[in-house]
Amino acid sequence: MKTPISTNLSRIFEKGKSIFKRNGWLTIATIITMFLSILVFTGVLIMNYTSNRFIASLKDKIDISIYFKPSIEESEILSVQEQLGKIEGVVKTEYISRDKALEFFKQRYGHNETLLKALNEIGENPLSASVNIKIKNVKDYDKILTYIETAVFKDKLVNINFTENRDLLNKTTNLINGLRIGSLIITAVLTLVAIIVAFNTIRIAIYSMREEINIMKLVGATNWFVRGPFVLAGCFYGIIAAILSSICYIPLILTVGRKIDIFLGNVSITKYFFSNILILLLAQIAFGIIIGVVSAIFAVAKYLNGKVNE
């Protein structure tokens, strides 16, 4: 008569709990190693969100500003603006008149009495009218600049301003890509260490239960029935490590995260974390379970293949 599936599952669950509790300090070491791996893994997820949003906000500031000679009529500038708006890669163009430029200047430097005094002494508006060109992709810079520098209206310009935002974006993108690669390497190394530690912890549990396992095999237990409790113990390691990691991140985000929010401006790590805390927890648990299950499967397979010395 076959044993009911529910009974088998219950036995596997109870045996899994027993294995989890049996190894004492090794269990703690395994959980700590997994915890560190999951901690860095979660940091990578948060950093990916933050860096993507930050780069997106910088891309929104990608622009080229062209400044016209004071003698150029507004109708001519609007005609140039229309031409620029038709270029592939240009998102939008904005005309800023000399009066509007002066208004922006006073708003920005209104606290600087020296500048305002010098402006009044000039007696007239020294600022140029301009067209601000928003670009979809930083790769379109050179193409658009080439168009402007070879256009028939080039002699109407006094200045082309474009390098600051492009250089900032390139430097930021390179820095973030470097951080991503470094974080992924650290995550991979810690994950490998966690798998090795969990693997050895489970091997010790297998060794201490080798007689019981041999009896189970003699009475017809399947490989999966033998493997089940150890896989379950691996899951327990991963789940506990994931929960500890999630708990650890809460005070970290509330302190360090809020300071980073101030620095980044319109990108909020704190809002992202607490809005997606359940998804992040599930991702952590899934990552922890994968580490535990992989470790357990390899450890039991090594024993079942007769490679563990008794």
- Judge contact between 81 and 93, C-beta under 8 A: yes
Least confident of 18-27, 99-108, 272-281: 18-27
Of the pLDDT bands very low, low, confident and very high (cuts 50, 70, 90), residue 310 is: very low
Cα(227)–Cα(301) distance, rounded to whole angstroms?
8
- The average pLDDT across 174-199 equals 81
> Between β-strands 130-135 and 63-68, what pairing exists: parallel, antiparallel or unpaired?
antiparallel
Write phi, then psi, for 147 (nearest 5 degrees).
-60, -45
Cα(106)–Cα(112) distance, rounded to whole angstroms?
9
- Judge contact between 33 and 193, C-beta under 8 A: yes
Tokens describing residue 130: 């301009």
The candidate with the shortest Cα–Cα distance to 16, out of 292, 221, 308, 294, is 292
- Judge contact between 115 and 109, C-beta under 8 A: yes
For 57-123, what is the HEC assignment?
Answer: HHHCCCEEEEEECCCCCHHHHHHHHHHHHCCCCEEEEEEECHHHHHHHHHHHHCCCHHHHHHHHHHC
pLDDT tens-digit profile of 21-38?
Answer: 666 677 788 888 888 888
Q: Which pLDDT score, from 0 to 100, does residue 20 have?
A: 63
Per DSSP, the three-state class of 221 is: coil
Q: Which pLDDT score, from 0 to 100, does residue 247 have?
A: 92
pTM equals 0.65
- Judge contact between 49 and 272, C-beta under 8 A: yes
Of residues 176 and 133, more confidence is placed in 133
Cα(205)–Cα(197) distance, rounded to whole angstroms?
13
- The average pLDDT across 33-46 equals 86
